[in-house]
Amino acid sequence: MSPRSSAATGSSVNVAESVESVESVVSAESLESAEAPEAAESAEAAEVQEFWRRLGLPGLVDVHTHFMPERVLRKVWDYFDGLGPLTGRVEWPITYRADEDERLAMIREFGVCAFTAMLYPHKPGMAQWLNGWAVDFARRTPDCLHTATLFPEPGVETYVRAAVDSGARVFKAHVQVGAYDPEDQLLDAVWGLLAEAGVPIVMHCGSGPSPGKHTGPGPVAGVLARHPRLRLVVAHMGMPEYEDFLDLAERYGEVRLDTTMAFTDFSEGLAPFPREALRRLADLGGRVLLGTDFPNIPYAYVHQLHALERLGMGDDWLRAVCYENGARLFGIGPCPSGIDPRPSGIDPRPTRGDPVQPGLPSPAHRVAHPSIG
Ligand SMILES: [Zn+2]
């Protein structure tokens, strides 16, 4: 998988052209064009399944995937489309540009037993609406952990409490997009509430891929000093301030890190993870969680898994990161997606009852997507 960053590769790829070419791959035309796209997708699903079956896992737990109201997600994609022309640096073609039911079918076909609906506001007055959508999404998507979000605004404590009471199992905060200070007074009681409830919050608080006024380890260190039991999951391993966030994880036993985009060719080209820090990851093995950013990634899903594998941390570490740590944190029982939990080499057990299991995609749900790199 080659990184799609012209900064990393030094190439002078025409950004507009390449975005266009990616879009053309997922156009209606290509959907109609014979066997290729579906075959490519099934091949990728087989590769993903081969990864966790080899490890003897029942599937994957992915703590960092994005599902949100369709028009919000389209805006996010527009943002990534504009990134190259905007910065003249990074191209970010979305690999899994498809409708929601198609994206759900894909992630289930990969064998992801549990995932999240990371959603986040960029302005006040939006979080509560997003949370309302997320309640409905969780209800109709039992393999998605009910996700909620927040913003420093009057009433935030009330709606966060309501979300926790209604069963939210994970929160998401995006410090760079929201452009707020995690130490904002309006959030102090919220951090206390989440710490007390033991509900994890995945926070994009590192300064990559682009810094914000309040990104970086400083503000988060302030929050943790006041709320040391907060179950903070640092997104993207804290990229690019990896070592500062590792410091925090070593200091606070409830701090975890998600692998989202870290170690991939794409991110290594922009913000390489320091090799000398790998041994610290081994020590933190129980608190590193698989995250991927599906579907908003500029490469194939399986690349994230191979990027973890090639670190050479060993199978125990991979099992912990890709399934066990997340399953323990969220109390995930038997794989609800219906993918057979036994390792490879054993024939799948017969389906229960209906010939088509509810959690599994039918061929009709599969869509074309470019397999980049
Ligand atoms: Zn994300």
Give the tens place of pLDDT for each residue, 112-137: 999 999 999 999 999 999 999 999 99
Residue 270 lies in a domain: yes
**pTM to 2 decimal places:** 0.80
pLDDT of residue 164: 98
For the chain, what percentages of helix, strand and coil (3-state, to nearest 5) are there? 50, 10, 45
C-alpha 255 to ligand 1 mean position (Å):
18
Task: Give domain status of residue 343, yes or no.
Answer: no
CA separation, residue 26 to residues 22, 65, 71, 91, 198 (Å): 7, 21, 18, 17, 41
- Determine, yes or no, domain membership for 341: no
**Separation of alpha carbons 157 and 322, rounded Å:** 32
**Is residue 4 predicted with pLDDT exceeding 80?**
no
Residue 225 belongs to a domain with what CATH number?
A: 3.20.20.140
Per the structure, the count of domains in the chain is: 1
Enumerate the H helices of 141-212 as residue ranges: 156-165, 175-178, 185-197
pLDDT computed for residue 340 by the predictor: 45
In the DSSP assignment, the letter for residue 237 is: G
What distance in angstroms lies between residue 144's CA and the mean position of ligand 1's atoms? 15
pLDDT in tens, 292-333: 999 999 999 999 999 999 999 999 999 999 999 999 999 998
Domain of 23?
16-333
Closest C-alpha among 118, 115, 170 to residue 335:
115
64 alpha carbon to ligand 1 midpoint, in Å?
6
Q: Is residue 157 part of a domain?
A: yes
* Residue 184 included in any domain: yes
In the numeric block, the tokens 């064009």 are attached to 33
Per-residue pLDDT reduced to its tens digit, 198-246: 999 999 999 988 899 999 999 999 999 999 999 999 999 999 999 999 9
Residue 368 lies in a domain: no
How far is ligand 1, taken at its centre, from the CA of residue 296, in Å? Answer: 8
- Inter-CA distances, 16 with 22, 81, 115, 295, Å: 10, 9, 32, 21
**Pick from 361, 369, 364, 368: nearest CA to 107:** 361
From ligand 1's centre to the CA of 196, what distance in Å?
25
Q: How far is the CA of 40 from the centre of ligand 1 (A)?
A: 25
